[in-house]
Amino acid sequence: MIGGIGAVQLKPATGGSETSTDLFGTTGTQPTGAQVASTFAEALNQAATKTVNTLQNAEQVSLQALKGDVDTRQVVDAVMGAQQALQTTIAIRDKIVTAYLEVSRMSI
């Protein structure tokens, strides 16, 4: 029997390239073993945490701009990044809900 959503094991890519693309499409170096999620649930948790951090950062930058401490360009960049992260998270949520509904319709 499958142990739920947390039982799906994720393995890091072991190809020749040292760069990878994270959940939100930015390219960086291959993360170390401690940073790679080992289960699907952990990957979702990390993605949700990144999104929340991005939204909080945009809020902080906006508040600093109201005080006159931050340039308008920095505010626009932070808000646009938060919007992209939120749209990506909503798209992932929609895909998960659709997959769940399809699986629940399957006859056993």
Give the integer Cα–Cα distance in Å for 31 and 14. Answer: 11
- Report the alpha-carbon distance of residue 87 to residue 34 in Å, rounded: 27
Counting runs of H as helices and runs of E as strands, what totals does the chain give? 2, 2
Task: Reply yes or no on whether the pLDDT at 5 is more than 80.
Answer: no
pLDDT value at residue 18: 41
Mean residue pLDDT across the chain: 78
Q: Looking up tokens 């659709």, which residue turns up?
A: 98
* CA–CA dist 88, 82 (Å, integer): 10
- Among 15-24, 41-50, 91-100, which stretch is predicted with the lowest mean pLDDT? 15-24
Non-local CB neighbours of 43 within 8 Å, separated by 6+ positions? 10, 23, 37
Cα–Cα dist 86/70, whole Å: 23
